[in-house]
């Protein structure tokens, strides 16, 4: 097998480093210098949209842990809100009160197309869609 070179880097500053990883988001091969996050099975290149996704995911895991903790105590997933959440977010599966869950049309990616589907969604999941829609 030939040694592939790094596919990350500016249009006018092609990187000639030897590719060591494949980005899990954009699929580009990248060198150690263009690594944003590499650990275990994860490999993320330093392109901005990929780095943003990685940060968002870490942040979202933190959010879900908080929601789960509150749900286990019988509270709505939003900090400072009250008991008896009766609605489930279609995306993160957290439980929320009626005030903290909204009915919306959410753009799901289906291959090359984007299809809007109705969902019940918490504010945090709704905010994430911009990051994940951008290819």
Binding site for Zn ion (CB under 5 A): 6, 15, 17, 23, 25-26, 31, 34, 45, 47, 50, 76, 78, 81, 89, 91-92, 97, 100, 122, 125
Residue 47 makes CB contacts below 8 A (sequence gap 6+) with 8, 23, 26, 28, 36
Burial pattern 99-123, b for ≥16 Cβ within 10 A else e, equals ebbbebebeeeeeeeeeeeebbbbe
Q: Which is nearer to Zn ion, 17 or 66 (CB)?
A: 17
In the complex, least distance from residue 115 CB atom to Zn ion, rounded to whole angstroms: 19
Beta-bridge partner residues of 45: 35
Separation of first and last alpha carbons in the chain: 29
Report the nearest approach of Zn ion to the CB of residue 122 (Å). 3
CB of 43 to Zn ion, least distance (A): 9
Residue number, 80 or 111, with CB nearest to Zn ion: 80
Smallest distance from the beta carbon of 80 to Zn ion, in angstroms?
9
């Amino acid at each position: 097998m030939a040694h592939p070179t790094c596919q990350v880097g500016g249009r006018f500053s092609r990187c000639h480093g030897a590719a060591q990883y494949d980005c899990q988001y954009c699929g580009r091969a990248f060198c150690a210098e263009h690594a944003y996050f590499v650990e275990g099975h994860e490999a993320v290149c330093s392109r901005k949209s990929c780095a943003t996704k990685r940060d968002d995911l870490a942040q979202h895991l933190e959010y879900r842990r908080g929601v789960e903790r509150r749900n286990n105590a019988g509270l709505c997933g939003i900090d400072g809100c009250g008991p008896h959440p009766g609605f489930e977010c279609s995306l993160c599966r957290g439980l929320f009160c009626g005030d903290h869950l909204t009915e919306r049309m959410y753009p799901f990616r289906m291959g090359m197309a984007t299809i809007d589907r109705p969902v019940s969604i918490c504010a945090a999941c709704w905010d994430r869609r911009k990051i994940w829609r951008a290819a």
